[in-house]
């Protein structure tokens, strides 16, 4: 069973016939000496067709592999996915009100957020509706069609957005299909946008004629559809997977367990409860930090001439010359959670870098520019207000202080070669 992360790296591992994706990930975590147990996933990748899907924790790996065609280039990749269960944590972000089908429950005086939380707790999700572009079989044309996703299956409307039974056409049975995101869909399939996904029968090998390729208007809409497919298909099982992932012993400290502390008093530290005070303490700490660093940098340093700031090249979050689009894909692949980030070379500005950061299901990009001050070279993101002697220092600062960013840096987007 070959696993790879990049084309140049792959490794074979022996997998017992009944091993689940979760068990295989734990085994790989051990053999690759990764720092934390959770948030790893096996990605099923079909490079020629541009299809990718994250295996659910309970899926039996060899059963999935048994559906592959022998001639294909399909493989598994072992990678981070922080967003596997993000819809349990932030349901309102994943199910916009405009996409929830009018159900009887909403009329019972229940707000849509209560409705969503209740449905997720009971192991299902709201009915989803909306326009999607769909590729006409054996034709190049794309057509805009109104779809409804219910527990009983996927339906399309033959008349605008009408949901009258006589206008509904049955499209697919959820139990028998898998949902994939489509990479490079404009080039491969002539898709009207980049936010493409695909459903295909889960049992038989992939044949292009069996693929139903659908295209959404934006990332949030695509994520809503693909999450709903997973929830309707697996229901309670996904919730069990989520509970298991929460119960697993974490080696890395969760940022939720960090608290603001004040060490200025004589009696040792105290926890700062008031958020306003915590914020100003964070600002104070940031200023003190800047003063300390400025002092450290101004001290004569014999190595400074020999030490151009290339320390970032050894860091897992540094991705060299990847393009803006590729950076977005890397972040999407590891899960659109707040605080996922990477740093890359700027393609438009020489000697500059770009910090790509995920916030509220979108990737934002911040230019990091070289800045000279008192004959020394620094980096800055805020026109010189805050200076960093290298990118490592910039990252470490923003892991504790938001600075100009909407959220602290939390999860480095990493490429793992096995």
Considering only CA atoms, which of 101, 119, 92 is closest in space to residue 231?
Answer: 119
Residue-by-residue DSSP string for 221-237 = HHHHHHHHHHHHHHTHH
Quick one: 290 and 144 in the same domain?
Answer: no
Domain coverage including residue 120 = 86-247
- CATH number at 359 reads 3.30.505.10
Q: β-pairing, 168-172 with 153-157?
A: antiparallel
> What's residue 4's pLDDT?
47
Judge whether 304 lies within some domain.
Answer: no
pLDDT tens sequence across 231-289:
999 988 998 999 888 876 544 444 444 555 555 555 555 666 666 666 666 666 666 65
Write the CA distances from 372 to 115, 233, 287, integer angstroms: 55, 56, 20
- In a domain, residue 306? The reply is no
Q: Domain for residue 155, yes or no?
A: yes
Could you tell me if 275 and 385 lie in one domain?
A: no
Residues 281, 404 within the same domain: no
Would residue 305 count as lying in a domain?
no
Under the banding of pLDDT at 50, 70 and 90, the label for residue 145 is very high
Rg (CA), the chain: 24
Residues 404 and 276 in one domain: no
Structure tokens at 105: 């429950």
Closest CA to 241 of 71, 13, 41: 41
242 plus 99 within the same structural domain: yes
Answer whether residue 417 shows pLDDT above 60. no
Of 80, 114, 145, the residue that ends a domain is: 80
pLDDT number for residue 366 = 95
Residues 411 and 319 placed together within one structural domain of the fold: yes
Q: Does 128 reside within a domain?
A: yes
Residue 144: pLDDT band with limits 50, 70, 90: very high
Q: Which among 112, 146, 115, 109 is positioned nearest to 130, based on CA atoms? A: 146
Give the other-Cβ count within 10 Å of 65's Cβ: 15
Q: Are residues 20 and 139 both part of a single domain?
A: no
Q: What per-residue confidence (pLDDT) applies to 2?
A: 45
Residue 134 in any domain: the answer is: yes
Secondary structure percentages of the chain, helix, strand, coil, to 5: 30, 25, 40
Clarify whether residues 98 and 66 are in a common domain: no
pLDDT band for position 135 (50/70/90)?
Answer: confident
**String of DSSP letters for 276-291:** HHHHHHHHHHHHHHHH
For residue 153, what is the domain's CATH number?
2.30.29.30
* Interval 321-345: pLDDT, tens: 889 999 998 888 888 889 999 999 9
Q: What DSSP letter does each residue of 137-194 carry, written as one string?
A: TTSS-EEEEEEEEETTEEEEESSTT---GGGEEEEE-GGGEEEEEESSHHHHH--SSS
Query: Looking at 267, 299, 331, which one is the last position of a domain?
Result: 299
Residue 364 — pLDDT band, cuts 50, 70, 90?
very high
Sign of CA dihedral 268, 274, 277, 283: positive
Inside any domain, residue 203: yes
Q: Which two tokens stand for residue 32?
A: 């690759």
**Exposed, middle or buried, 327 (CB in 10 Å: 0-12/13-18/19+)?**
buried
Please state whether beta strands 75-80 and 2-6 pair in parallel, antiparallel, or not at all (unpaired).
parallel
Q: How many beta carbons lie within 10 A of that of residue 66, not counting itself?
A: 10
Residues 206, 138 share a domain: yes
| Distance from C-alpha of 413 to C-alpha of 308, rounded to nearest angstrom | 24
Bigger pLDDT: 27 vs 296: 27
Among residues 80, 100, 127, the one where a domain terminates is 80
The answer to whether residue 101 sits within a structural domain is yes
Q: Which element (helix H / strand E) includes 204? A: none
Beta bridge partners of 51: 46, 182
- Neighbouring C-beta atoms of residue 41, cutoff 10 Å: 26
Residues 241 and 283 occupy one common structural domain:
no
Q: State how many domains the chain has.
A: 4
Residue 261 and residue 236 in one domain? no
Question: Does residue 240 share a domain with residue 91?
Answer: yes
CATH of the domain at 70: 3.10.20.90
């Amino acid at each position: 069973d070959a696993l790879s992360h990049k084309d140049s790296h792959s490794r074979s591992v022996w997998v017992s016939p009944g091993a689940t994706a979760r068990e295989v990930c734990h085994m790989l975590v051990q053999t690759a000496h990764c720092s934390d147990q959770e948030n790893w996933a096996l990605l099923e990748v079909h490079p020629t067709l541009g299809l990718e899907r994250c295996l659910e924790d309970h899926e039996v790996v060899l059963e999935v592999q048994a559906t592959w065609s022998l001639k294909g280039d399909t493989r598994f990749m072992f990678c981070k996915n922080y967003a596997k269960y993000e819809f349990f944590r932030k349901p309102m972000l994943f199910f916009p009100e405009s996409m929830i089908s009018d159900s009887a429950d909403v009329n019972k005086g229940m707000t849509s957020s209560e409705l969503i939380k209740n449905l997720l707790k009971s192991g299902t999700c709201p009915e989803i509706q909306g326009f999607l572009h769909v590729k006409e079989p054996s034709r190049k044309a794309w057509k805009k069609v109104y779809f409804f996703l219910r527990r009983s299956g996927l339906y399309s409307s033959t008349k605008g957005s009408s949901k009258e039974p006589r206008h509904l056409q049955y499209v697919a049975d959820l139990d028998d299909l898998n949902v994939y995101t489509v990479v490079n869909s404009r080039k491969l399939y002539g898709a009207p946008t980049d936010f493409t996904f695909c459903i295909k029968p889960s049992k038989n090998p992939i044949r292009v004629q069996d693929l139903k390729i659908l295209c959404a208007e934006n990332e949030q809409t695509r994520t809503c559809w693909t999450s709903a497919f997973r929830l309707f298909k697996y229901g309670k099982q996904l919730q069990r997977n989520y509970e298991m992932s929460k119960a697993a012993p974490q080696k890395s400290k969760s940022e939720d367990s960090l608290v603001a502390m004040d060490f200025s008093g004589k009696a040792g530290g105290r926890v700062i409860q008031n958020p306003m005070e915590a914020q100003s303490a964070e600002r104070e700490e940031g200023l003190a930090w800047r003063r300390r660093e400025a002092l450290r940098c101004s001290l004569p340093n014999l190595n400074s001439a020999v030490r151009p700031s290339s320390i970032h090249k050894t860091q897992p979050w540094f991705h060299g010359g990847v393009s803006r689009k590729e950076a977005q894909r890397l972040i999407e692949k590891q899960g659109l959670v707040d605080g996922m980030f990477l740093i890359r070379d700027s393609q438009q500005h020489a000697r500059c870098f770009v910090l790509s950061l995920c916030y509220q299901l979108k990737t934002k990009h911040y230019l990091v520019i070289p800045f000279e001050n008192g004959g020394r070279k620094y980096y800055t993101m805020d026109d010189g207000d805050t200076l960093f002697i290298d990118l490592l220092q910039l990252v470490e600062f923003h892991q504790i202080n938001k600075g100009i960013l909407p959220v602290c840096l939390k999860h480095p987007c990493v490429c793992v070669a096995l």
